[in-house]
Amino acid sequence: MNYKLLYNPFERFQERFLISVGIIALIIGALLAFYFQARFDGVLDLHFVSQVDLWQTFADQAVNVVCLLVCLGAVAFYMNKRTRIIDVLAVCLFARIPYYLLSFFNVNGLMVKVSEEILKDPMGITTGNIAIPHLLLLLVFSGLSLLAIIWQLVLLYNGTKVASNAKGTKYSILFVIAIIVAEIFSKLLINY
């Protein structure tokens, strides 16, 4: 297996293919979010809620992709004036795929129930008042969430780098700033 495809498919596939896969994944991700009551309410955020409307899940996805596109597009254009916006769009759509899979954790509202249990007794983790299966679920979810965020960031970093032909420390610093700005703007837009 070619592991490079997992962290940098942008060197191998055309932007049309990546955009097509990204749009299909966005639609499936929004439908999963609706079905499993998840809100991707920020570029790097996922929260499970007791109720969500279908339009909200699509709006969340659209805002996240647009915020990434604007912020990473600005970095890409700064690094290389000949960067094509379609290449950056392909990156923004495709890189979110690993994150969509986390919706499955809220089967039958399980994550919402666990969250409510913890909120009722915040010290329950230290006193042992939280059921072991719930604690294990939280640990697995936290670990997989961290991996999904890292994978998403690696895809965004590598994809924007390929799209703009960027190199060096300047690109890395600008990338980090762009992700932080995209997260802030996505949170503000989704919450208002």
- pLDDT tens across 37-51, in order? 999 999 999 999 988
Q: Decide if pLDDT at 77 tops 70.
A: yes
List the beta strands (DSSP E) in the chain. 38-39, 47-48
Residues 6+ apart with CB under 8 A from 106: 36, 37, 38, 48, 112
pLDDT at 71 over 80: yes
Per DSSP, the three-state class of 82 is coil
Mean pLDDT calculated for residue range 110-114: 85
Q: State whether the Cα torsion 42-92-159-6 is positive or negative.
A: positive
What single-letter amino acid sits at 162? Answer: V
Task: Round to whole Å and give the CA distance between 95 and 57.
Answer: 17
Lowest mean pLDDT among 11-15, 28-32, 98-102, 160-164: 11-15
Mean pLDDT to the nearest integer, 90-103: 92
pLDDT band at 143; cut points 50, 70, 90: very high
Q: Would you state the pLDDT for residue 163? A: 92
Contact 49, 39 (CB under 8 A): yes
CA distances 2 to 7, 55, 83, 114, 128, Å, are 10, 37, 27, 38, 44
Mean pLDDT of 12-26: 92
Which residues make Cβ contacts (< 8 Å) with residue 95, sequence separation at least 6? 68, 152, 155, 156, 159
Average pLDDT taken over every residue of the chain = 89
Bridge partner residues of 48 (DSSP): 38
Q: When comparing pLDDT for 75 and 118, which is higher?
A: 75
Where does the pLDDT of residue 125 fall: very low under 50, low under 70, confident under 90, or very high at 90 and above? low
Give the pLDDT of residue 135. Answer: 77
Q: What is the mean pLDDT of residues 152-175?
A: 93
Rounded-to-integer distance, Cα 108 and Cα 74, Å: 41
Number of domains in the chain: 1
pLDDT at 191: 85
The answer to whether the beta carbons of residues 174 and 75 sit under 8 Å apart is: yes
Provide the domain limits for residue 162. 4-191
Q: Cβ atoms within 10 A of the Cβ of 129, count?
A: 12
**0.85 exceeded by pTM:** yes
